[in-house]
Structure 1
Amino acid sequence: MRIQFLKCHGSGNDFPLIDARALTLTEPEWAILARLLADRGGPVGGDGLLALVPGDDAHAFGMRMWNSDGSEAETCLNGLRCTARLGFDVLGLDAAQVKLKTSSASVARDPEIAPGVVTIRTLVGPNSTRAADVGLVGAPEAVIDARIEGLPNPRRFTAVAMPNPHLVTFVDAVDEDELVALGTWCEGRPALLPARGNVSFVEQRGPQSLFVRTFERGVGLTDSCGSAMAGSVLSAALTGRVPFGTPIEVFNRGGMVRGQAEADRRVMLSGNATFEGLFAIEADLAGGMLGTPVLIEDRPAERAAWRNAVAALR
């Protein structure tokens, strides 16, 4: 089958994005396609696969997202911005309510965070601090800036469901070896966290500035994870590091977004939704093979605008 996709990224979190409103695949076929397209050793590569899907009476459109291992995620906020932009473009909208796997989000076009950088605002939640919603088994009702019994790390964590599960800890300096070790342990589906979870180490670099490094469930160490940035913003407010309702700049290896946690535990993120190019590719799902991507439309101006934006941050 021949598939068209946009190669896109939000804060450096990159994906193939398919307009799947008229595409019918079985669930196993979607998982195969995600593993093929998001394979870093393959012809496309990405942190996962995004699909724009039909909405319903309450939603203009929907989004689905599969990790690079073929597992489906509840949400992906960097991917949501990209999917929302495509939805806006094909439907002629500037704002919408989007259906996610287990929740809903408000999205809208926003003023550019840098010249030439298309920017989308997302508002998600209310988000949960119930340990059960995060997937922690045998933990207290909520874990906020506390040690977690059974976790092979003595740091104090805040557990939040965005609605995908996140464990967030604030550190003086990110130790990537420590982060990878804990993230890998969580990937093993331990009895404490059988559905796995995302783990973030966060440096507070000023009164309204965070740097986030994340080991993402089903992906590994990533340059950026949107829901992790949102979870870190919420965790900063829950632990009193940044007041609710305060704008925050959130940095990562991929770039920067604007964030804000509201008192009702909703979180706003505003950041880039960059389209790098439109491609077509032949996919043999039964044989587990991809052809060579064919470039249909290049977007060099968007790539340059984002490179300039990132360079200005350094």
Structure 2
Amino acid sequence: MQIEFVKCHGSGNDFPLVDARGLELHEDAWVRLARALADRAGPVGGDGLLLLTAGDATHAFGMRMFNPDGSEAETCLNGVRCTARLGFERLGVDAARVLLKTSDAEAQRQAELAPGVATIRTRVGPVSTRAVDVGLRIAEPEVIDAPIAGLPSDRAFTAVAMPNPHLVAFVDAVDEGELVALGDWCEGAPALLPARGNVSFVEVRGSEAAPALFVRTYERGVGLTNSCGSAMAASTYAAARTGRIPFDREARVFNRGGMVRASATPAAEVTIAGNATFEWDGRIGFDPATGALDGLTVIAQRPAEVASWDAMLASL
């Protein structure tokens, strides 16, 4: 069968995005498609596979996100922006409530972050800091800026469910070796965190009047990544909850992939405005039974969008 997709990215978090509303595939086939299309050694590559799915009575459309290892994430906020943009274009709307695996998000078009950079704002929450929601098997009801017994790190963490699980530590400077070692440990599904989790080290930058964060994340099912939207949201909430940045004030949140603008409320809602850049459109043959890909065709390039994003990065 032929699969059409858009190669897109949100803050450098890149994906093949498929309009799956008219496709009927067995769950195993979606897993095979994710592993094949997101494979960096394959013809497309990405940080995962995004699916635009049908909505329901209260959602215009939905999103599913599969990691490169085939596991399905509860959410992906960089992916929500890209999927929302495609949904807006297909349905002719500028705002929608988006159905996710275990929650939902509000999305709408936003004034451009920079000239030519398509921008979508999403709002999620309330997020949870309950240890059980994060998947931590501990006696404490929550972890806020405190060490976690049994974790191979003595750093203080804030545990946040977006609803996907995040452990956020604020550091003076990111040590990638330390981050990868801890992420690898969590990726092994230890008894402390059997469903695994995302781990972020965060540097606080800027000032109270103009707060900024730099986030580096080991993403569950992915590894060290240049960008993770839910990690940026979790880090924003954790920073506000621990008094490092003010609630209800927009912060610039940076990662290796780019920048978004984010804010958190005392009611545990997080808003992120960031890019949803479409780089090119493609078509590829896919065998649902084996997961084999064949015959990639680039239908259209989108050089103006790519150039606009590159110009924004150069200005940061």
Same-fold call, TM > 0.5?
A: yes
In structure 1, what is the equivalent of residue 172 of structure 2?
172
Q: Does 1:290 align with 2:297?
A: no
TM-score normalized with structure 2 length? 0.98
Please show how residues 188-227 of structure 1 align to structure 2 within 5 Å.
Answer: 188-207=188-207, 208-227=211-230
Cα offsets for 1:27-47 (capped at 9, x unmatched): 111111100000011111000
Cα offsets for 1:179-235 (capped at 9, x unmatched): 000000000000000000000000001220000000000000000000000000000
Distance 2:138 2:231 in 1: 23
Distance 1:119 1:203 in 2: 25
Root mean square deviation, CA, Å: 0.6
Please state whether the residue corresponding to 1:56 is helix, strand or coil: coil
In structure 2, what is the equivalent of residue 107 of structure 1?
107
Question: How much does 1:285 deviate?
Answer: 2.6
Give the unaligned 5+ runs of structure 2. Answer: none
Identity %: 68
Does the CA-based 8 Å contact 1:139-1:149 persist in structure 2?
Answer: no
Q: Does 1:267 align with 2:270?
A: yes
Cα offsets for 1:113-160 (capped at 9, x unmatched): 011000000000000000000000024101000000000011000000
The number of residues matched between the two structures is: 313
Does the CA-based 8 Å contact 1:183-1:220 persist in structure 2?
Answer: yes
4+ residue runs over 2 A deviation: none
Please state whether the residue corresponding to 2:194 is helix, strand or coil: coil
Question: How much does 1:263 deviate?
Answer: 1.4
Q: Does 1:138 align with 2:141?
A: no
Question: How much does 1:25 deviate?
Answer: 1.0
Q: Does 1:256 align with 2:263?
A: no
Distance 1:102 1:237 in 2: 25
TM-score normalized with structure 1 length? 0.99
Question: How much does 1:284 deviate?
Answer: 1.5
Please show how residues 238-257 of structure 1 align to structure 2 within 5 Å.
Answer: 238-257=241-260
Q: 1:305 aligns with which of 304, 308, 314?
A: 308
Please show how residues 154-173 of structure 1 align to structure 2 within 5 Å.
Answer: 154-173=154-173
Q: 2:240 aligns with which of 237, 252, 257?
A: 237
In structure 2, what is the equivalent of residue 124 of structure 1?
124
In structure 2, what is the equivalent of residue 81 of structure 1?
81
Distance 1:263 1:137 in 2: 26
Distance 2:287 2:27 in 1: 16
